[in-house]
């Protein structure tokens, strides 16, 4: 990727990098290294790990300071703001798809797996900004990109996801808390599929599949709500 392209992305996010290799690493998907073994940087999964934690902290701080709601409500709001579906949607604001470095095979896949790649790349980008520009600049980026989605989340009740709904129903109706277990997983590291089961008192109620454990858990909860006729 040439300098002009990187500068274009910097302009889109309103951040100037001192070390552009951090930005480039944030954009490097694992699959790209399979075709470019001499690439001078690592893939973006370590930066994604860091960015995930930084994002959660900044969103948590914002919600804690601004709202006096109980912990359970704040947790649901935060989850709706930082989940993969929301981050993938937000990545479109900056056309992140135009900058992520992918293998030829991954470029052809524009489905659900691409959404996760973009969500993860956005987290990696946040991690890179944090390392290069510090906490306050990262906070400003999240305030520009992510926190503006919060009113829509509350208005449309997007925080009422299947897992939350199933847990509320299970606790109210039978006094049990759901537990989730990974039953199987397959595929390469950069494109895995997980099979997850949701249990009540050790009884398997629902099964879900997805490209992440979180997505599979949501699908399992949806399945359980349907089977219990709680939805």
How does residue 207 score in pLDDT terms, banded at 50, 70 and 90? very high
| 62-100 pLDDT, tens digit each | 999 999 999 888 988 998 899 888 999 999 999 999 999
Q: Which of 25, 52, 215, 223 is catalytic?
A: 52
In Å, how far are 5, 78, 100, 163, 225 from 222, measured between CA atoms? Answer: 41, 20, 32, 8, 5
Rounded distance between C-alpha atoms, residue 166 and residue 181, angstroms? 15
H/E element, 197: strand 193-200
DSSP-derived 3-state class of residue 205: strand
CA neighbor of 15 nearest in space, from 132, 95, 127, 114: 132
**List 25, 48, 106, 123, catalytic entry:** 123
Q: How far is CA 8 from CA 1, 15, 23, 114, in A?
A: 11, 10, 12, 22
* Opening angle at CA 125, ends 29 and 94, nearest 5: 95
Closest CA to 145 of 203, 92, 215: 92
Return the domain boundaries, the chain.
Answer: 3-155, 162-228
Q: How many CB atoms lie within 10 A of CB 190?
A: 21
52 classed as catalytic:
yes
pLDDT value at residue 231: 65
So what CATH class is 162-228?
alpha beta
Is the pTM value of this prediction over 0.85? no
Structure-model confidence comparison of residues 17 and 188, the more confident one: 17
**Average of per-residue pLDDT across 5-25:** 96
> Considering the domain 3-155 in this protein, what is its CATH number?
1.10.1520.10
Helices first, then strands: H and E counts in the chain: 12, 3
Cα gap 74→60, rounded to integer Å? 8
Q: Does the pLDDT at position 15 exceed 80?
A: yes
Convert the pLDDT of each residue in 47-56 to its tens digit. 999 999 999 9
Active site residue 136: no
Sorting pLDDT into bands at 50, 70 and 90, what band is 215?
confident
């Amino acid at each position: 990727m040439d300098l002009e392209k990187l500068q274009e992305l910097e302009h889109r996010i309103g951040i100037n990098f001192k070390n552009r290799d951090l930005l480039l690493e944030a954009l490097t998907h694992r699959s790209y290294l399979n075709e470019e073994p001499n690439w001078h940087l690592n893939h973006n999964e370590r930066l994604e790990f860091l960015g995930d934690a930084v994002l959660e902290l900044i969103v948590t701080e914002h919600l804690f300071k601004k709202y006096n709601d109980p912990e359970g409500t704040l947790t649901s709001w935060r989850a709706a703001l930082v989940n993969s579906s929301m981050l993938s949607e937000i990545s479109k604001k900056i056309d992140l798809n135009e900058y992520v470095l992918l293998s030829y095979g991954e470029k052809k896949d524009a489905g659900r797996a691409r959404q996760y790649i973009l969500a993860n790349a956005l987290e990696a980008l946040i991690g890179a900004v944090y390392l290069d520009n510090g906490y306050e600049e990262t906070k400003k980026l999240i305030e520009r990109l992510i926190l503006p989605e919060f009113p829509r989340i509350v208005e449309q009740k997007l925080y009422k996801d299947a897992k939350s709904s199933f847990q509320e129903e299970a606790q109210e109706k039978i006094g049990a808390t759901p537990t989730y277990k990974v039953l199987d997983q397959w595929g390469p590291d950069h494109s895995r599929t997980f099979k997850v089961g949701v249990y009540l008192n050790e009884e398997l109620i629902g099964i879900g599949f997805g490209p992440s454990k979180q997505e599979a858990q949501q699908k399992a909860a949806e399945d359980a709500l349907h089977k219990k006729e709680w939805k």
